[in-house]
Each structure stands twice: as C-alpha cells, then as structure tokens.
Structure 1
Amino acid sequence: MAQSGDQVVDQIAQLNAARNLVLGDAAFYPQIVNGVLPIIGAHARVELRRWGSEFLAETFASPAFATTQKEQLAINVLQTVRNILELPEGDQLVLQNIAQTAASLYPLVFRHIINHPEDKQSWEHIEAIKQDILRRWDSFPCPVKVCCIKFAQRVVLAQTHGPIADPRRPDKNETSLAILPRNHAILSLPNLEAESSGLLDRILSVFHEDASDPILVNATLNCLATLVRTRQSVGNKIINAILNFFPARHARSPVTPAVRIGVKSMERTARAVFINIMKRNPSHPLAGKMQQHIERLMQSRIGHVDDTSRKRGLPTEPTDGLDAAKRARLDAETPPIIKVPPLPSGRISFAQLFTLTEDSGLSSFDVKQLPPDLVVKIAVPLLARVDQSLLSQAVDAIRMRYETVQKQQMAQPQPAAEEEDDDYEPEYQPMDVPGSAANEAGAVSAALQEEQPDLVSLGPFVLPRPPPLSEEQAAEAGRGAVARVFGMLGSTTLAPNLVKGQGQLGFSRLAGSTFDRDAWVTLLTRLATRAPAGLEGPKLEADYAGRRKPTISDTIRESLYRYILEDFRGRVNVGIMWLNEEWYNDRLQMKVASSNRAEDDEEVSVPLHYDHWVLRLLDGFLPYLDSRDTKIFIRFLSEIPEVTISIAKRITSLAKDPERVNLCVQSFMYLVMFRPPAREICLNALEEVYLTYEESRPSAGKVLSRWRPQRVEQLQAEQTTLVTRTVDSQTPSSTVTNGSRDPRTAHAAAY
C-alpha cells in the first residue's frame, strides 16, 4: 500500500531525529541502523531510500564509529544494499550513496571473510555488489562515476599487499593481502591480485582517453595519491601513468573559458599529487622525473591555454641595438659607422670586392704567407671580440657592392656574333693538298693538349678489391658485431608507454622502427632465427656439444642465453620474445619441409631449436628460483609458446626442495587451468610429484581432486596399502612363536 506524502514527511522527520541522536553519541549506531533497515529497503519510497542510503554512507564513513563495530554491522547491511542496487529504476542520489557505502563496506567485509571463512553468504553479497558497480560504471552519470572511482580505489587497496606494522597482531594491521593466509577456503590470492591489477588499469585508463572529463580526472588523481602513499608495489606504475598525462592535450579548439578552467584544474591537481609525494619521500627514485613533469605542465599550460590571457608582446628591436629616435633620450653611445670606399672602374676581382680598407699596406699583404695554425690562433679570438654592429655594416656593404657589380655586368652589351663573322676571312685551301691540312690539324690538337690540365689525361681510378675473408675471419667479425650490439643494449632505453589503441604488433612488427632496447632485441632474435632459415643443414642434438663449427646464429643464441641469465628477473621479456621467435621459425621450417616432401616424395630433416634452448634456459635459472619468484616463473611458463614433457620434468624437479614445493604446484595449477593443450602433460607430472614427494600432497591433492578426482582416490588407496605393507614388514619377527628361542627372550625383544 502506497504511503501518503504526509506520512513520508513524518517518517523522515523521525529519522532525522534518530540521526541527530547518533551524531551526539556513536554508541547508538548499531541500534539505529538495525532499526531503520526495514524502513529504507528496496520496497520503500524513493524519498526514504535517498535518506537511508545517505545515512548508511555517513554511518560507515564516520570516524567516531569504532572499526570493530562497523565490521559486525556491515554483515547486516549487505542484503539491503544489494537489493537497493539491483532495482531497475536508477535514482542518481541513491546510486551515489550506495557506491559510497560499498566503498566503506568492502574492506570491512574483506577482513571479516579472512577471519570467518565459513561465512560464504556475506562474500557472495559483496561480490554481487562489486560486480554490479563495475559492470554499470561506464553507464552511470558523472557524479556516480566519481563514487565508483572511490569504490575501485578501496578494492585495489584491499586486494594488494600492504605494509605489516606488527606481525604478532594482524588485527591491528591494515586490510590488505598481507594478512590473508595462503590456504584460505574462499579467497584465492592469485585471483585477487589479478583482479586488482586489472581494476587499477581501468582506473588509469582515464589518462589515455582523448577527451576526458576534468572532474573524473581530478577524482582519479586524488584517489591515486592514497595508493601511491600506501601501496609501494603499484606506486611506480601509477607515477609513470601520471607522468605520461598532459592536461593541455585536452584543450580543443575553440578554447572556451570552461575548457581553460578544466585544463588548469587538472594541471594543478597533478602538480599537487607530485608535490605531496616528494614532500613525504624526498629520496623517491622518480623524484627527478616528477620535478621535470611539474615544470613541463607549467610550460604546456602556458603554451596551449594561456595564449589568450597574455599581454601583447614586446616590440621588435632595431637591428643595430637602439633606435635613432631614442638615443638622445637614453644617452646611449652611437655605434661607429665604417667608411666604405668606392669600387675602382673596370673589371673587379674578388680581392677588390671584399676589401673595405684604404690602407695600401693591408691591401697588399698576402695572408697565404702565414701558416694555417697561426691564422687560426689569430682569427678565432678576433672574431669573438668583433663588434656586432661593425660586422653587420661590413656584410651589408659587401652585399651592396656585389649587387651593383651584377647589375653593371647585366647592363653591358654583348658583342654580336654577326660582326665577328664579318671580320673573319678564311684563307682558301685547295682540296688536293691533304698533307698541309693534316699538319694543321695535328698542330691544333697539340696546342689543345698543352692548354688542357694534366688531370684530363688520367683514366678512371678504381680501388683494388679487398682480399676475400676466410671462414675464421668472417666468424670472428660476426662475433665482434654481435658483442658490440649486446654492449649497446645496456645503454639504450626501454620502449615508451603505448598510447591507448596502439598495441604491440607481435611477429609482424618492424624490428628497427623505434631504436630502443626492444627493437635491438627483436633484431638480434630474428637474426638468429629467421636469417639462417633454410641455410642450415640437418642438426642433431649432439651438434650443440661442439662437433659442428659455430655459426653466427649460434653465436647470437649463446649471447642471448648469457645475457638473459645475467639478470633473469629483469630480462624475462627478452627470453619470452626469443623463445617465441624460435618456436615460430621452427613451425615455418616444418611447414616448408612438409610441402617439399609432398612435391619430391623425399624426407627432409629440419633443424629445430626451440626445445633445446628452452631447456637450457630452464636449467640455467631454476637453481636460483625461490618462493618470491612465483609470479615471474608463472609468467614465463604462461607466455612461452609450447609446454612439452621435458619442460614439465624440469618443473617437477623443483619439488626436490621442500621450500619450493608450493612454487612447483602453483606453476602446474596455472598451466592446468589456463593452458588446455598442456593440461594432460601437467596433470601426469603433478601425479608424479604427488607420489614422489610427501610435502606436496596437501597442495597437489587439491588440484588433482578437482581435475582427476577418481585418480586421487586411487592414489590415496594405493598410498594406504603401501603404508600398511610397510608397517607389517617392519613388525619384529621375534613376536612369532619360535620353538628354538626362549619365549621370555622373544617377549623382551618385542619391547
């Protein structure tokens, strides 16, 4: 039955009285909240839901309300919050308050689930609320999006590793993954970390959009400041994202006052975030970049936005330093004016064109008599001290002389060809006297040869071809080139962050397009894999032992192998890229070989490299892995192109060390879940680990019970039978009645 307007007004007045009561004494919060929940539920009128959602947001954000009491009360509120959020009609004020309430509830419920893993219903409620908010985030209006950003920040805070103030009292530590036990019944540590990483990327995506709302950008920056201060694991990632953000790019023409104010607000907020970070941690490794970015923000704002607000620029100054009308008022010294002598009449030489002095001694002095080093010692200090005004006058005077000479030459009349022809009277030479004509032609050619310079008679000069290189010399030159390229890798920079919408092109990318470290690594891997493709003969595994002469491709592969092992944790990307290129090249060669076999009906052997080098890499870094390298190792296994039986055996060898059993099992669990082609191989290897190493049975049994439950029961039965037989075999034989022994001796031996 619908309530009348007067009844709603009376109820809101009573609810306001209850709010005033709890504001005066926070001890009444549990009683008042439990009392108003039936009134403000999903079936109440929108006015009551507005008041109730605002009251819940205010309750769980109140600093006067104890955290332990909030945690107990949060479980009672979850159902009501979920029902209100799932209503089809979306009131903006209600959604704002519900998102704020969910942001306060999430860390409380997260800690409650850590301490009470049996309460699955509460976790289902908070998961449903989280998924609903994240799913409808982009469709919400702007005020609700701001609250969603705050909710996402609280989720990332709870699902990342935070600092541990006192390991003996986890209840006093901050809510984070640091207080989550490894074998929790409900919460999975890898899943929570992956979700928080994706959610953080979604928060940072606002910096990559072409046209972002300044309100959302400012809200994101304010939330990220808390993450940088409290979560060191994601702090550098956030700072790098802000460093690549320039608010001036959001200024689109026409630059209206609203756009100008929005850009200024984003610039000031980003600057305030960096200033606060550097104030709290002056020795931050990225402090220099942050200071440079602050200055860059100021310059970009002035260049893009503040052009319209500037005053007019200064007037252009005259070229000689001062205007003639200002000299008298400023009492400035007038620059001296050089005297330019006129050019002589007749033909003008270059020396006369560039001579501005009337001193005959200087004009007749030959500078070629001085040695060049002395000329340099005299000219350089002289040019450094020359007066700029005098130099400008001299250049202008020579320019005017040159233009005058050009005009005079163009104005002079050219002699006509007809007049020359009239003056020319050739002598008659009879046709029957060839000897005289030949003598005359020989004399003319001799005269021409005397007039021509000696260089004309020289033929084309060709450098001699260098001697051919031997195989050893060519191999040595190739190894030297490879060593120089690997030396450059330490001095080159990493690739810049990709702009949104631009991804890596994979195998079709250009290796030399960016000239960064990734480009050089790509070039080296392709030189080792694609360049010798089709040129290598059939190889056996023993060829790698040294019976075959090493080629340039083998040199590059060996150098890549050593380069990766020098710092595997930091160069795992290089190893993944190299192994992908090797696998890709092997498959192409096999495809070409199969097509040739179909045409020629002859079996063609193909040299394969992927299996050999992936096993060498694993053998190289597996002895140095520990439990802290779980993410790096799982990433390596997830991004290599193929997991074989040999690779599974290498992973199994980790279980020999009791401290690395969990690393082995977690690696197999990831491969089983997310790499279906290798699932059977990994499950077989996991069974071997389960049977061989007793320390692995608790964790390995959970994985096998999910994917091979019948096999686990069989293994447990076999294990029980084996234990029974072992116990029976260890029973002392002296307890059996033996006529040849004294019963008392047998009884004593049994004990």
Structure 2
Amino acid sequence: MEGVKSETLAMPNSDLNGLIQARSLAHEKNPEETLPKVLDTTSTIYFPQYLTKYTDIPLSRFFTDLFHEILNHPKISSIEKSLIASSHIHELYLIAQNVKDPVTYKTAVLTFANAYPLLIDLISKTSNEDTWKIMTSFKKFIISNWDTTYPLTDLNSIDLNNDVKNLGCKLASVKFISQVIIVHITPTDMDENSSMKNVIIPNNHPVLGAKKNLEREAKKYLDLLLNYLVEEVMMCSELFMGIINCLAFIMKARVRTTVRILSAILKFNIDAKYMVEGMTPLKFRLCKRMIERCYKNFVQFGMKHQLIKKDMTGTIFGDNAVDFYSKLGKISQTLFGIGEEAKAKGILNFDEALFTHTIPDKKKTDILARRKFLDIQRKIESNNDLLKKLQKYTMDKLESSGDDRTKIFNTSTVAIDNSYSAIFSLMNSDNSKFDLSKFKNEEPNNDSQTPLDQNILIKLCLEALTGTGGDNTRFISALSIVASRYTNLMGKTKSSGDGERKRKLDTDNKDNENSKRIKTENGLVKEEEDDEEEEEDEYQPNNLVEEKQIFKSEPMSQEDKVANLKRIITRIISIKDIPNDNGNILLNNKLNSELLHKLKLLDWKNEESGFHILIRLAIRGIGIDSVEMADLIRDTLYEYCLQDFDSRVALILEWMNEEWYYEMVSETNEYATYDKWSNKLLDGLIPFIENKHRRFFIRLMSELPRLTEAHLNKMKQICLDPARNSLGFQTLKFLVMFRPPVKDIIKSFLESLMTEDSSLEAQCQSILKKC
C-alpha cells in the first residue's frame, strides 16, 4: 500500500476486497440482517490485530463508514441500532484515538453523534455503566480537540488560521455537540422534534446521574458554540454557517434555548471578522455574503416556525430588554437589501478597499499569546492522568506493608536544605529535584522558550494537594511534617541572624570606642560629632526617598479595576461548572459529610455558593465605594437569573432580600437600589411567565421583601392577557390572603384594571370583596 511506513501493518488487499464485496452483497439481499454481520466480521478482523499496535487507514475508513451507514439505514429498527452501537462504540473510540486520518476521524465523530441518543436511551433502561464510561471518555476527547487541528497533528497548534484547516472534522464536531445539547436538555411540549422526545432520562439515574448535571453540561456546550461565533476574530465562513444552521435545529428541538441563542446571534458581528492569510478580497466578500444569507435564513426559519415570537424580549450586554422579533426582523430586511443590491451590481463589481480587512499586528499578537497559553494548558492537562498515578504511587507506597495509613514515604521533620522541594517533598529527595518553575515551554517552529504560566503551576499544585488519597488523617500528618520543617529552618535562620547581629554590634562598639579615643586625644571630639550628625541628617532622607521609590505602588486605574472585576466574576461563576472528580458527592444540594474529607476546596459549596459571594460583594463590598462596579455584578446576577428563572427563584429572593435589608438599616432608608433592580427583574421575567410557572411567580411576589404600586403595575401585562390572566388573579388572591399589608395597593390596582378592561370586572370584584 502506497505511503505506508515500515512500522505500519496494513491489511492484505484480498481481505479488504472481500469485506467490500460482502458489503455490496448485503445491500442486494436483506441488508437489515446482513450489514450488521459484515460489521461484526470487520470488527473481528480489525481488533486486536490491526489497532492495538498498528493502524490501517483503508480498513479504518471501511469500518467507520459501514458503522455510520448502519445507524442511518431506514430498515434497521432503533432497538437493533442501539444494540449494535453499544457493541462497537469502544472500537469506534479506539479508532478515533489512534488513526490519525481526517476522513476516519470525521466519520467516527458523525457516527458517534448518530449513536448518542440511541445509547443514552439504552443506558437509561439497562444502566450499563461500562458503555457510559466509554461514551464520556469519547465525548471529552472530541471536545478537547474542538479548538485544535486534530488529527492533523503536524500543523502549528497556535496558528491564527487554524479554523480554516481540517474543516470536515470541525463541522462533524459541531454536529456532535449539537446532538449532545438536544439529548441532555429535557424536552417540553413545545419541542417539535418527536424522535428526541423518546429519550427519557430519569431525574436521578444510577449511571447517568442527576438530570440537572446533564443539562448543565449541555448549556456549557451550547455556550462553547455561541462563544465561538461571538469571539472568533478570523473569517471562517464554513464553520460559522455550520454552527448557525445547527443552532436553528437546536432551537427547534429545544425551545428553552431560544433566548440564549438569540442573545448570542445579536452579538455576532460579521463586519468585525478579519481576513485569513491568503484570502483575496473577492473571496472575503463572497464568504461575508454567504454568512449574511445564512443569518437571514436563520431569522426567517425562526419566525416561520414561531420560534422567534412577537414581544419576545431578552438582554444584550446587560442593557435593557431587547425585542428580539423586531430587532432580528430589521437585520433580516437589511441583509436582504444588501443581497439584492449586490445581485444588481454584479458579483465582480465592488470596491476592493472596502473588502480588505486584515488583522492589526497588535491584535494578532494578543490573540497568539492567548492561544499559546491555552496550548500549554492543554498539554499540561493531557498529562493529568500521569500526574495522578504519580501521586497515588507516592502516597500509597507503604500501604502494602500494613494498615497504618498515617505513614508517609519521607517522614523526616528536618529539611535537607532551604528549598521548597526539600520542605514540601513527601517523596525521596532524589525524586524531588525537578523544578517546574524553571521548566521551559518549547514553542512550535521557534527556537525561543518561555516558562510555564503561573496559573498552570498553581493548578498542578492544587492537583497534587488533592492527591492525598482521600485520607484526612494522612493529610494532617503531611502538613505537620511540612510545618516542622518550616519551624526547624526558621529556628536556624534566627540563631544565625542573632549571632551575626551580635558580632556586628561588638565590632561597631569597638570601632566607636577607638574613634572617640583618637578624637579626644586630638581635641576634635565636638567638631567630629557635629559632622557625623550632619552626615546622618543628609543620609536618612535620601535613604527614605530611595525606599519609597522601590516600594511605591501605583494606584489602579478605573479601567483596570473594571477589567479585574470582570475577571473575578467570570472565575466565581465558572466554579459551578467545574466537574466533580470524586463522583456524585453532591446530592440534592446537600453535602455528604462522610465524604467531606475527599473534596477539593472548590467543591465545599452548593451550586449557588459563588453567587452568594457576588451578592455580598455588590451590596456590602465594592458597592459602598463604586456604584458602577457594583452594577456590573448586578448585571451578571440579573442575566443569570433570567436564563433559568424557574429553578433560580431562591437566588432571586436572596439577592432582593439582601438589597432591601442593606438599605433598610442604612441612614437614607430610600430603597432606591432595591426598587430599581426588583422592577428590572420583573420587567425581564413577566414576558416569559406562563401558567405553568404559577408556583414560581406566587412565591416570588409573596416573598419579595417590599412590594409597591410600581411592582404591582408590572403584573398588568399578565392580567390583561387572556391566556395568562388566571395566573395574575391567583397571585393577587394569594397576596390578599397571606400578605395583608399590601391590600390597599392591590385594591387600587384592581380598580384601575377594571377601568381598562371591563370584561375583568367579575374577577376583580371577587378579590375586592376579600380586601
């Protein structure tokens, strides 16, 4: 076989030709039974002979292509497909990992995308843990390769134009991610994709885990696609259009994602994308035109299928509510006009200067630096399994000799020197000489080297600390040893320092006595002492100036403060998305105390603990000095609450209670901030409130710490809506019965409501009788 290296074992052509002939015969006679048998035969030949040590690209392509064909065959039942997928998913994963062929990898990813809902349905019924582990590993493998050129490993991984390379594999990954999002998000009655509704996942499955964890993962993957559209600066029309088309199907299959998707679509700025290297102005214009047409088709698709509805609102960049229907409609009309104008002028009739959009050098440098960091981080994370094995070996070295788990490999309380490795090492000293802080990262296609980023080093240290085997007693013993080493070194330093100061003091005293004796003999004591005082007076101020210059710190500018605050907010929010490596330890937001000693520090929380910190920071922290920066946090809380308001009512109420209490105990007692943000929350929520949200809305209105006439007037939109007015009147009735202090404003509200719509008089009067 041409192009095969000497170490590669290729399948004989006769065997491969035989499989191809068997596949052709299967198509002619009873394919639903014979095609799976051909796949089984291929598997028997392929594994383990050709994959464990060698790779065979033609056979890999044949296997993945046949697997993909079977899963799409109309005559094979879904149950049969799920069993076939379960039998061969591990082989598909091994091929994707080992065969560095773009065609094979693309087909493998597409095959897994087709098999994913079938396998999830099978696992939900059979609880096959082994299959789920393989699927999870395969899924993580695909996601980790999303922003790389895999399997084209010979390319520069931080190249600015990576996204225009290996497009087939990237588009296959987009389809797979879309499939995972649709399967993991719980379907509702509004969803139109009936085939996905058949995948029923129980709330707390013994293998799949809690349903909310699957939904959280789906939202994270959805953000992965949306962030690419918004943040990617280079023009990659094929990938942009692939994502937009998949978003349309996600939106149709899971209507709950509509607001999240439309918010990102409005942030997607086609004009801000730069030309990739080697792209001509004509090609750039064509790419831009194709994306604009795809954008327009997306909007029309949403409106046609009633996914983008009138009066549908949301927030963009934390601003006031935006009417998605009217805004996207205007954009669609504008793009249609641009297309008609281009068609009338002709595709070649354009000003090249207007379509020459190259990336500035400074921006290019910043992007390359960021990609360089991510590339190093990815390389370090790829060795995470090796690091964990080393930790386990170190901490469990003596376990085989007895049951005393407090033993440590290196128990000496005296460090051999004053280095960090000597103080903290629990291994033999010979194994602790590798200094990661001096490790150099070799840049691709470059002779220069850069040290590892500090964030990566911190992450490695945290991973090392969590590798104590889950034994609290042993961890305390290790800390005690480190503390003893520190104490010993500090004692040595103090003794050495005291002895040196004593010797220096004795020397100075002798010098002073000799100096005075000489000066007395010459009769110049007074004059010399005056000179010494003058010299001392001159020296001290200069020394102080020098010290001030050394330790002087410039105050941060307002821009820097805002940028750092945004970074802090992002880091705090991202904590909730960190996967739990210790299994399903958090159950129903309650911490299992028996497993507390096995948790990382970041896992000592419930799901919303990061937001509790943000609430206090905005109200009682920086909010005291900077309203602008506090409102930045409030905007983040506002957007987060609106994304899934039904399950985040407790967080909304906690936030509002904190706002109210702080203003209640303050001297002004004006409730300006509380009124502003509580009314803004109602403005954002009420357009989306439906009858099914009855419990949520009644709880919200009844537990808000302060209700005013302005708050109640927000409900007028619900009460005047024939489809939702029962929700509004039920809420008002509840408030009258269980919150008497607001009876007067409810009475005024109902009287005003009757003047606007006389058909509601009967409903209003029934509540007025109770006021």
**TM-score interval, normalised by the smaller of the two chains:** 0.3 to 0.5
Greater C-alpha Rg: 1
**TM-score with structure 2 setting the length:** 0.41
Which one scores higher on RCO, CA 8 angstroms, separation ≥ 6? Answer: 2
**How high is the TM-score relative to the length of structure 1?**
0.42
